[in-house]
Structure 1
């Protein structure tokens, strides 16, 4: 319970390099909360005396509840790269729900969250300011996790079996680089395409085609970060792209740079 996780970048661009700029730790939830929550995350930094640093993160198909001074809220999945300006000294605490895991709390299509920030009080009964004071006043990250679990526990909804289905689908997409089409997912899970799309709109907030594209491009960014950009055509084909120009266009849409520009910036 609440163990610190050593995990891959999971969309944090230049993860290995930027480990010197900030610290990112992830913690596992308790068993019952883990039905809905993927992990807790804590980002802390101290750039006192140093210039601000723009940290970039590739979007993901998850809802996040973010606890940050004056900016707390519940954020739906985004289709664009997110840039956070690290400056001075600070700490941000987050709850990353599993794909589909936030829907049982609100029972409304998660796609509605894509362009708005949901108020924490409306879902969990605690004002944002009170949550900030409670969580961010803790010295130990493990204590932050315990306080957040005390907030979540009384509000846990009934288990929704569809959440587990979506988790299995998204995990398969993430792990299996051979999956490049929605039709493949439908065959693997014996599901009609319209049913799959409706399920993702309601529970995840983005369509399955975008989730497939996102994970393939996240794979690309991680491979480039490890020095795997000697042959751009080979990399694009490895990730399921048979048109290199299409790969370059999609990669830039997600990261803000072409693969070559991203590789040279490392």
Structure 2
């Protein structure tokens, strides 16, 4: 079996490679301002023990259509269902059992608030039936999507549904925030909120308020989360990486601070994470 490559955000992807199939699909030009990508996950563990999967989550909300076993409840919601997921402030954890499928849209950071006009912080660390958030027209989107057949067809069905409901225009302020978050993800020299304030000409307090309302979580969390994702990815791709050098490269004061933050997030040290990255 071919080795599954490490993937940012997915904890020990190489070790879970045989457990589930995870794919991404482009949003299309007319949706890319709001939707970062579409994605699918499917698994078949019938006759096998459950598998715990963890994700070092991104600063983004999701809309999913989900199917599972008869009478299955997932995220506290009876399946099948269409679900709105807020930003997950810790590590997203789910136990995969039986057979299941998910088709999802990951909004860009701030994309959900830009799409709906809603306060994203209301949904942080919550999963809710879509009908409660987006109205009755999307409450049973999973029924339409599920009738499409293959997962690729279901992605296209979700894409068509969102195209029919997309906002008429993107607001310049939303574009500005999205560009700032993209820079935060790409520039590992950005490690403090004060640097963002200097870049944007806004106060720290204003940035905190904007991030919480538009993204669902504060800018300090976003900066830290991108660094932690990069650290985990580096440990998976090179388990022998020098931890002191990694800490310095990603903006931690020293290796001890990297270790403390990593342990708080995943409950283990970077060294142990690297040792177990391949499933050992």
> Which residue of 2 is the match for residue 242 of structure 1?
253
Gaps of 5+ in 2: 68-78
With 135-144 and 217-226 compared, the bigger mean Cα shift is at 135-144
Q: How does 1:95-134 map to 2 (within 5 A)?
A: 95-121=105-131, 122-123=133-134, 125-126=136-137, 128=139, 130-134=140-144
The alignment's TM-score, normalised by the length of structure 2, stands at 0.85
Counterpart for residue 50 of structure 2: 52
Q: Measure the CA separation in 2 of the matches of 1:127 and 1:182.
A: 37
Matches within 5 A, 1:20-35: 20-35=18-33
Match of 1:258 among 235, 249, 269: 269
**In structure 2, how many angstroms separate the alpha carbons of the residues matched to 1:237 and 1:79?**
24
Contact 1:252/1:258 (<8 A) preserved: yes
Do the aligned partners of 1:120 and 1:126 also contact (CA within 8 Å) in 2? no
Q: Kindly indicate whether the alpha-carbon contact (under 8 Å) linking 2:239 and 2:275 is maintained by their aligned counterparts in 1.
A: no
Which of 40, 43, 57 is the matching residue for 2:41?
43
Q: CA deviation at 1:230?
A: 4.3
Distance 1:39 1:8, change over 3 A: farther
Distance of aligned partners of 1:165 and 1:190 in 2 relative to their CA distance in 1, 3 Å threshold: same
Quick one: higher RCO (CA 8 Å, sep 6+), 1 or 2?
Answer: 2
User: Is residue 249 of structure 2 the alignment partner of residue 212 of structure 1?
Assistant: no
Cα distance 1:199–1:150, how it changes in 2: closer, same or farther (>3 A)? Answer: same
- Write out per-residue CA displacement over residues 138-181 of structure 1, whole angstroms, 9 at most, x where no aligned residue: 33222112211222123212322222112211111111111111
Matches within 5 A, 1:85-100: 85-100=95-110
Q: CA deviation at 1:30?
A: 2.2
Can you give the 5+ residue segments of structure 1 that lack an aligned partner in the other structure? 1-6
Distance 1:180 1:229, change over 3 A: farther
Residues 81 and 256, structure 1, Cα contact 8 Å, conserved in 2: no
Q: Does structure 1 conserve the Cα–Cα contact (< 8 Å) formed by 2:235 and 2:241?
A: no
CA deviations over 1:203-223 (Å, ceiling 9, x no partner) = 001111110000001000000
The offset of 1:255, in angstroms, is 2.2
- 2:153 aligned residue (143, 157, 163): 143
Q: TM-score, normalised by structure 1?
A: 0.89
RMSD of aligned C-alpha atoms? 2.0
CA distance in 2, matches of 1:17, 1:116: 28
Task: Using the TM superposition, name which of 83-92 and 228-237 deviates more.
Answer: 228-237
Distance 1:155 1:127 in 2: 9
Q: Counterpart in 1 of 2:71? A: none
Q: 1:74 aligns with which of 81, 84, 97?
A: 84
